[in-house]
Structure 1
Amino acid sequence: MAAFPRTTWTGMTNPTTPKIRNTSIDNIKAVLIFLVVFGHLIEIYVGEDHVLRSIWIFVYSFHMPMFALMSGMFSKASWDDKNATQLISTVLVPLIGFEIIYEATEFALKGTASVYAGLVAPYWMLWYLLSLLCWRLLLPLFSRMQFGVMLALALSLAGSYSEHAGYFLGISRTLIFFPYFLLGWKLGPEIFNVKKKERLLVSAVVVVAALIAAFMLKSDFDYRWFYGSYSLHRLEMANLTGSMYQLLQYAASTVIGLSVLYLLAQKDLRMAQIGKRSIYVLVWHGMALIILQETGVLRAIFKHENTVALAVSVLVSMAITWVCAHEKTEALTKRLILDPLAWLLIPKRPASQQDWS
């Protein structure tokens, strides 16, 4: 997946030894991308139902921070021709290709460019690819700093005071989620290899407490904090209290998120194939949701009482995730979109210069 560009392997370091993919990491990626689909599916209806709203808040309290953290875990701090080419093919190519596809779809449906185009911002979920591109470019620099994570955090807090922080080029989200990305790079995937009953128990308690807290929040809680695209001015907290709230959110999201990931890493959820192809879920699920919205299916789902609506939402999200992560979806996407665009963007090197490792 482009959002997790460095392939993760376990096993011997001898290059002649067959490499075994770490399925627990792919399982985690599968769950996170499912939560992205589910969160987007119920998003515009959360204000109408307390149960949906509470679950949505719980999911958003950690799922995007952990996406950034996982991306950092599998990113390389070195910079060479091979890494640059990989960054173009796995991040820039799908970003450009699907930006064109979604804007064309918006124009076909409404006769105008999207609101994102007016804001000079990536279309909807594609902000993540642009932010990932920036994070990967910044990583070689920040990885060589003694307190790189703290500097990224300071930049995030300072940037939140700018009245210009927002959707423009996804700058706000790039700054807000960058500390998670750097933290993931520092922690590495080995953090999930430690098997301790005490850590398992603490993680379970944290997750349950976070879910209960989400249900206990007042109805006027401003969940825009979770988006990472609003300045403190727009949130009406451009003061020291706002910064303290941001720090509290960083701490809570990190603790809750790592607890969730640690629990998910304990067993094989048999979702590794979805995790391996999660980039296709990221870029295609928006199209599925547009179709469901335009055909009235989403409105029909949320006309039911909350238990039924929640159950159907989960099932529909699972179906979208499965279809988008199917091997045929991968093959068609590569053949029709990614490969032609990569051919245009990446010059073919002479055979004598190719790296066959």
Structure 2
Amino acid sequence: MLLTRATPVPHATAAPEGRQDPLPSAEAVARRAPARRDPFLDNAKYLAIVLVAVGHAWEPLREGNRPVTAVYMLVYAFHMPVFAMISGSLSRGFEATPRQLGRLLTGLVVPYVLFETAYTYFTRWTSEDPDRAVTLLDPLYLTWYLAALFIWRLTTPVWKTLRRPLPVALTIAAAATLSPAIGNDLDLQRVAQFLPYFVLGLCLRPEHLRLLHRRGTRRLAVPLFAGALCFAYWAVPRMDYAWFFHNDSATALAAPAWAGPIMTLATFGCSVVLAAGFLAWVPRRSTWFTALGAGTLYAYLLHGFIAQAAEHWGWYTLPWLHHPAGEVTVTLLAAATMTALCAPAVQRPLRALPAWPARWAFRR
């Protein structure tokens, strides 16, 4: 680095005799050192967000199509649990300091307000509900995850103080399936039912992830997903895959109330095993898409406009899209679109959106 005239040149000075400055602790050094992004987590976020976009692109193709519905069920069994687990893993250092709370407000609350408003006006145009009111209490379409992540992260210090946080989170999720009275306010039904995956991410340690990187684990993931796909194909006419959406109580899914806690444990076990199989195949090193994993939040929010516009403009009415070649084309287009939305050139101006309200709303 070049020194200017105004830059003082440091001189070595000896410590006073009999006194020695203490060396900084490892924790102090870690706090001062800039956080280094983990390529494994960024790779996992990118691959998972591509699956989110592909799953939404498959939705209009499901009716009367058992193979597409089976793959759709398989993907929905683990892609959002993966995101919740990664969010929990990245929240281990959250201690509700003023700086962290400020970043939480600018990183989640401000985008929630902006995109909830934008989705409302966009939905007025694409749907038959031109009079839908703008409300921040009823998350619309994809914004539910911002509300959920805000609540989960705020409660992180509580989960970190509990001796057995995962059983407590599973109990809350099971209780939610017994409570049809939980309304749409902040999508609390989903917040509660996806909570165990976030808490599981908080509990994970690097040594747990290292188990997934073993060659034997990666080999087991192949028959795991093959068997899961066969089971999903068998289950399509026999099971309501809405259980994996985690946004309704048991009675709302036309099931007896006692089935709610059982399905909570069953879907949790299924999702965690599939998530482990998925993460086992995620590359640990930097790849061409590692940098794209840093831009998944806004890509997630943006692709919803494209998905809604595609249905509004009748793109899915083309007959050839409902054949294997069309389904493959839809899959590739969805993956390419999400990849483009994750690009730094797209993300850079979007990350500046929360800056202007933060200047006057929050203390520096």
TM-score (normalised: structure 1)? 0.85
Selected match of 1:49 from 49, 65, 73:
65
Structure 2 equivalent of residue 287 of structure 1:
305
Match of 2:293 among 275, 289, 310: 275
Aligned match of 2:281? 263
Residue 257 of structure 2 is matched in structure 1 by: 239
Give aligned-pair identity as a percent. Answer: 23
Are 1:192 and 2:209 an aligned pair?
A: yes
**Equivalent residue number for residue 8 of structure 1:** none
| Gaps in structure 1 of 5+ consecutive residues | 1-12, 350-357
Residue pair 1:65, 1:177 contacting (<8 A) in 2 also: yes
Secondary structure of the equivalent of 1:78?
coil
Change (3 A) 1:219 1:190: same
Return 5+ residue gaps in structure 2 as ranges.
1-28
* Contact preservation (8 Å) 2:292, 2:344: no
Count of equivalent residues: 333
Residues 157-200 of structure 1, C-alpha deviations (whole Å, 9 max, x = no match): 11211122353321001000111101001104553334423222
Q: CA deviation at 1:58?
A: 0.6
Say if 1:268 and 1:54 are closer, same or farther in 2 by CA, change over 3 A: farther
In structure 2, what is the equivalent of residue 346 of structure 1? 362
Deviations 1:216-272 (A, max 9, x none): 224242111111111111122233333222211111111111111122135655211
- Which structure's CA Rg is the greater one? 2
1:165 and 2:193 equivalent? no
SS of the counterpart of 1:42? Answer: helix
Say whether the 8 Å CA contact 1:106–1:113 is kept in structure 2: no
Query: Which amino acid letter does the alignment assign opposite residue 250 of structure 2?
Result: L
Retained in 1: the 8 A contact 2:69–2:236?
A: no
Secondary structure at 1:264 match in 2: coil
Alignment of 1:73-222 (within 5 A): 73-75=89-91, 76-109=93-126, 110=128, 112-114=130-132, 120-165=137-182, 167-194=184-211, 195-222=213-240
Q: Specify the SS of the correspondent of 2:167.
A: helix
- 2:82 is the counterpart of 1:66: yes
Query: Normalising by the residue count of structure 2, what TM-score does the alignment of the two structures yield?
Result: 0.84
Residue aligning to 1:27: 43
Shift of 1:313: 1.4
How big is the alpha-carbon RMSD for the aligned residues of Structure 1 and Structure 2?
A: 2.4
Q: What is the aligned partner in structure 2 of residue 329 from structure 1? A: 346
Whether 2:29 is the aligned partner of 1:40: answer: no
**Counterpart contact for 1:92–1:133, Cα < 8 Å:** yes
Alignment check: 8 A CA contact 1:39 1:59 kept: yes
Post-superposition offset of 1:93: 1.4
